[in-house]
Each structure stands twice: as structure tokens, then as C-alpha cells.
């Protein structure tokens, strides 16, 4: 049975869960918490079950600027997690809450994917001149593998924003290396990353 955000306790933050999760020894990943007004409750029916991860690129010029924008009441956007250029993980919204990251979106029979997804964003300027960094793929692999484990999400349900909002969004863009992310997810899930 898939874990539910209602009725079954879900840790308030990724860091709490990672500190208690063991594959090969104690797992530590530093997660910095930030507040944002851009969140609300998930639907209390099957539409609110977390069934997918949506990967984003943010098109911000700096991590500090992106963090400030997500916290700004005018932005109307948030992610559950932001992976900084240095690989640092920032959490804005608890997983049992709905972040405002996917907008108008659909996958299969599901629409309004903010209801049933976790948004993971990797910082990038969005111009094509800045590649994603190994530290980002490593941290994103750890975060996504943990989310997949916690919510019983198959790899096939880890999708790009461009896939769930075609014609409207293009991130994480063509230079995003999905194979690199998948390799980090696989190594992390197998307990081979420190």
C-alpha cells in the first residue's frame, strides 16, 4: 500500500527522515529549511497521494536570488526542494503539503499535478551557457531516491517539467543529463553513496 500524506505520519523534513534511514551506515545530508507562503494542503482524497516527482530548472542567476524569489509573497511559486549550484539542499515545503511548482500540468489521467507530486528544482540560469554540476546531480539523486523510497514512486514517474507541461514549459532544458541523475538515484538507492 502506498504511504499517504493523510493518516500516516510522514516526517516534516527530508533531513529528519535521512538521519533515521540506513542503507550502509548512518546517512547524513544537510538540508536548510526556508519558509515560503506558497503552499497549501493537498486534497484529502486519492488526488492528494504523492505519485510522482517533477524535476525543474529555475532560470535564476544565483541561488540566493532564487531563494529570495521563492520566499517573496509576489512570486506565487515554490518547490519542495531546491538543489543549489554547490549541491546544497534547500527545503521550502513539507512533503505532505502542496507546493506551487507544476502549474497547468498533466500526466496520464492526472491533471493539476501539484496535488500529487514533489517538486525538486536544480539551480541553473536557463540560458544553456551554464551546465548542471556533478554536486547537483549527486544531491538530487539522494533527494529523489529518498522521495521514491518514502512514497513508493517508480523511476518512470520521475519526470521533467517540460514533460508534464508541454508547450508551456521547457525546463529542466535539453542540457539536463537524465542518465547522470538516474545513475545517482541508482547508486544512492543501492546504498553505494556515502
Which tens digits make up the pLDDT trace of 39-75? 999 999 999 999 999 999 999 999 999 999 999 999 9
- Measured CA to CA, the distance from residue 39 to residue 114 in angstroms comes to 10
Place 17 in a pLDDT band, splitting at 50, 70 and 90. Answer: very low
Instruction: Please state the pTM of the whole predicted model.
Output: 0.84
- Whether the CB-CB separation of 83 and 17 falls below 8 Å is answered with no
Residue 189 has what pLDDT? Answer: 62
Domains annotated on the chain, with CATH:
14-189 (3.40.80.10)
Q: How far is CA 135 from each of CA 42, 44, 86, 167, 187, rounded to the nearest angstrom?
A: 31, 36, 6, 30, 14
pLDDT at 4 over 50: no
Amino acid at each position: 500500500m502506498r504511504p499517504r500524506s493523510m493518516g500516516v505520519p510522514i516526517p516534516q523534513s527530508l533531513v529528519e527522515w535521512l538521519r533515521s534511514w540506513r542503507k550502509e551506515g548512518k546517512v547524513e545530508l544537510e538540508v536548510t529549511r526556508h519558509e515560503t507562503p506558497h503552499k497549501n494542503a493537498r486534497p484529502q482524497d486519492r488526488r492528494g497521494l504523492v505519485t510522482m516527482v517533477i524535476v525543474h530548472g529555475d532560470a535564476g542567476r544565483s541561488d540566493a536570488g532564487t531563494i529570495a524569489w521563492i520566499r517573496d509573497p509576489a512570486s506565487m511559486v515554490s518547490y519542495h526542494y531546491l538543489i543549489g549550484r554547490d549541491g546544497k539542499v534547500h527545503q521550502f515545503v513539507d512533503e505532505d503539503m502542496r507546493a506551487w511548482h507544476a502549474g497547468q500540468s498533466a500526466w496520464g489521467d492526472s491533471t493539476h499535478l501539484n496535488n500529487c507530486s514533489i517538486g525538486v528544482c536544480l539551480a541553473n540560469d536557463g540560458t544553456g551557457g551554464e551546465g548542471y554540476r556533478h554536486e547537483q546531480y549527486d544531491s538530487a539523486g539522494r533527494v529523489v531516491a529518498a522521495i521514491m523510497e518514502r512514497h513508493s514512486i517508480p523511476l518512470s514517474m520521475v519526470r521533467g517539467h517540460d514533460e508534464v507541461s508541454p508547450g508551456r514549459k521547457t525546463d529542466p532544458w535539453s542540457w539536463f543529463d537524465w542518465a547522470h541523475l538516474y545513475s545517482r538515484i541508482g547508486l544512492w538507492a543501492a546504498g553505494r553513496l556515502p
